[in-house]
Amino acid sequence: MTKEKKKKETNKKIKIKLTPNLKNLIKAMWVHEGMLYIMCLSKYIVKLTKYFSQTYKLPEDKIRVGTEEDLIKEISEHNTRVLISIRDGKIIYDPYKLIISIKININKGLMTGTKEAILRKFLLIKDYIKEIEGIKAQVFDNIYTSTIEAAQTALILNGRTILIPRLIPGMLKKYLLGKGLEKTHIEYASEIIKTFKDYEHRTIHLPSGKELDDLARKAGLFREAVKKLV
């Protein structure tokens, strides 16, 4: 028997018949896993508890009778047991559509403390992480592109043209080392190009925010050195 079938079978065990008089006293009623939940005015709590205990041979600890204010308090305090009873339970009487409205919101993941809410929050976090990763990838692309453009500018000014990025560091070293560019500048450009190509070919993961900050700093220093050549 599946979990869903077991749940339905359990909820079917308590069969309640409400008379017109009882409907005048009760604001809502539902059952879950052998527990009967009743919402009413405070003055009827004791009366209804005794009635259902005696009429349906239910232990009083299997009957939870409370007011609308009690239910609101339970929900505001994220009482998981109550939320699950509404989510998985069978609604017997709900003339004001309060319980069914809560059930719908639980299933939409709008009630804190339920697995639906946790899943919804997880999915929102996943979307947020994807968005952050997208921003980081764009930042990385900008660092790489600005470095390539600056390197090509430096080489063109020296009468050289190079279109293959992986060959740029060697060309910079051959034609511009000691002629406006220091060894560290060329190493910065080489590191940025290699790291980006490794990421592009999926041999490494997207650099962390801290690593991108470091690469951005090095790209900035490289560009500043190139500007002095102009």
Domain boundaries, the chain: 3-113, 119-227
- Report which of 146, 167, 118 is spatially closest to residue 226, judged by C-alpha positions: 146
Q: What percent of the chain has pLDDT over 70?
A: 86
This prediction has a pTM of 0.52
Lowest mean pLDDT of 10-19, 87-96, 102-111, 115-124, name the range: 115-124
Q: What is the pLDDT of residue 191?
A: 97
3-state helix, strand, coil in the chain (%, to 5): 65, 10, 25
Lowest mean pLDDT of 83-87, 115-119, 140-144, 201-205, name the range: 115-119
230 or 199, higher pLDDT:
199
Arithmetic mean of pLDDT over the chain: 87
pLDDT in tens, 69-100: 898 888 877 788 998 999 999 999 999 888 99
Tokens of 146: 């600005």
Cα 206 to Cα 132, 196, 211, 218, distances in angstroms: 11, 9, 9, 17
The architecture CATH gives domain 119-227: Up-down Bundle (1.20)
Cα 20 to Cα 32, 124, 165, 203, distances in angstroms: 23, 46, 83, 72
The residue assigned the tokens 């041979």 is 57
The residue assigned the tokens 């009482």 is 79
Tokens of 216: 């951005």
Average pLDDT value for residue range 153-173: 89
